[in-house]
Amino acid sequence: MKTCNGNTSIMDMFEKGKVLKICAPMVRYSKLAFRSLVRKYDCDICFTPMIVASDFMRSVKARDSEFTTNEHDRPLIVQFAAHDAQTLADAACVVAPFSDGVDLNCGCPQRWAMSAGFGACLINKPELVKDMVRHVRNQVDNPNYTASIKIRIHKDLRQTVDLCQKAESAGVSWITVHGRTSEERHQPVHYDAIKTIKDSISVPVIANGDIKYLRDVESTYKLTGVDGRFMTLQWTAVALFLYVEMGILVILCLPFISARRWQSIFQLRIWSSVAQLWNKVFLTMIIILIVLFLDAVREVRKYSAKEVGTDTKLQPNMFDHLHMKLFRAQRNLYISGFAVFLWLVMKRVVTLINQLASVSSTTAALQAQADSANQTAKKYMEDNELLKQTLMEGKGDKATAEGMELLRKDVERLKEELKTSGDALKKSQSEADVMKKQTDGLAREYDRLLKEHQELQVTLSLKHSRIMTCWVINSETKRTTNNCKILQKGEVFTQQQTRESHHNAHMLYLHITPCVTMHITKPGLAPLRWQ
């Protein structure tokens, strides 16, 4: 609904009498992308996050970063935190062409906001709130442009009623009431106080606080009679997950699907890829469900009868609402706890099905073996009975008796022959052992002689390895000499020694081995060395 410079306003939505669903302002979340998302799910009005008006007016960078919108982002309410009437009015004029109204935050309980003069501290300054609303009304030209406030309640509800009445006299379009004091955080919302405020003024009142389900919207409307409610969602996913678990367990427990059939299904290729992530998914879901279970426990304690009974200012209809809240918290506790239980049961059932299928396969194999053994034993028993029957029928028959006697004698004879053959076999084996020992002794003696022979050959070859050098007298003198020199390995025979010993020699014989001779025919001999 586009209302800037138009003839309609958001106030017409209140006059239609329908239940309005409004997305509450949330720091860092209620920006354009988030608002575009919730509008697709039937959100009637959206708020921007709280913007500090003084910073917004002082810095262009702050305006560009804190406030973004588009033509589809309507109806849109811009929420400001301010403690100066003129600053708030100037900020409203800047955003007026791009929005449908401004909202003054008088309910933020954070310390930084209250220390700066913003937020919940303004509920103790009704005149300042009245003045800021009046300045916005007077400075924005568009009569359909709304100016609203969001507040918390006082411990003395009369002060809250007085604040709302003064804001109404200044021209406030509507008032959003968070049903807790500035000191309360998670205590039950005082819906009776919201109803009292609604009954005390004529402008629309929007209830805020602990509205998590669509059914909470209806119950809050019945308790307070307000015109709109801020709402969030929770637990739907847990309930859906619980229903899925129940369906899977029912399918796994169907009697006409055997464990072996389930095992064959689990062994399909698609399950082999899923099985790799199964443990991670299982642990992740366990953690998520346990966190939700603990949150449900916190809700139960929050709305317990003991805590509710400490506040004596609650009206009688408030007890009904809180009992309803307690009932829902207990239901959430049961849902989350049962979801955890079924998740563990489902994993155990799958494991037991696989084990049962394996046991069934083993049992079937053992049963087949047992049946085969029973059939064989039965056959042998039948043969035994038949043999007994034959023997019983043969009693008194002389021919049969004689045949049996002959068979008995043959058996005795065969036993004696078998015994004789056994004795002969033992004797032959003993003789073979003796011959084997003798053979081993001969083999050792042969090895010893062979070794001695090899040693003698080595000694003989060493004796012939010496080198002999012999000189022969010139053929003209016709004399011989027996002089010889034995050269050892590495010894040198020089030319001088050759001349001094045998002047007329012309041939040198070097005996390396008995079959190798080296000839040197000239008297001038070069030095010789063992090669």
- Regarding beta strands 45-47 and 51-52, do their DSSP bridges make them parallel or antiparallel, or are they unpaired? unpaired
CB atoms within 10 A of CB 528: 19
| Integer Cα distance of 80 and 56 in angstroms | 9
User: Does residue 76 sit in helix, strand or coil?
Assistant: strand
Which entry of 46, 108, 484, 515 is annotated as an active-site residue? 108
| Integer Cα distance of 528 and 495 in angstroms | 9
| Integer Cα distance of 152 and 421 in angstroms | 119
Specify whether the CB–CB gap between 188 and 211 falls below 8 A: no
Torsion of CA 194, 197, 201, 203, to 10 degrees: -30
Nearest partner of 259 among 138, 355, 335, 154, judged by Cα: 355
Q: Is 108 a catalytic residue?
A: yes
User: Does residue 327 sit in helix, strand or coil?
Assistant: helix
| Integer Cα distance of 11 and 5 in angstroms | 15
Backbone angles phi, psi at 52, to 5 degrees: -75, 120
| Integer Cα distance of 421 and 427 in angstroms | 10
DSSP string, 159-213: HHHHHHHHHHHTT-S-EEEESS-TT-SSSPP-HHHHHHHHHH-SS-EEEESS--S
Contacts of 8 (CB under 8 A, 6+ apart): 1, 144
| Integer Cα distance of 18 and 229 in angstroms | 11
| Integer Cα distance of 148 and 111 in angstroms | 23
Specify whether the CB–CB gap between 471 and 483 falls below 8 A: yes
Judge if the upstream peptide bond of residue 527 is cis by omega within 30 degrees of 0: no
Instruction: Please list the active-site residues.
Output: 108
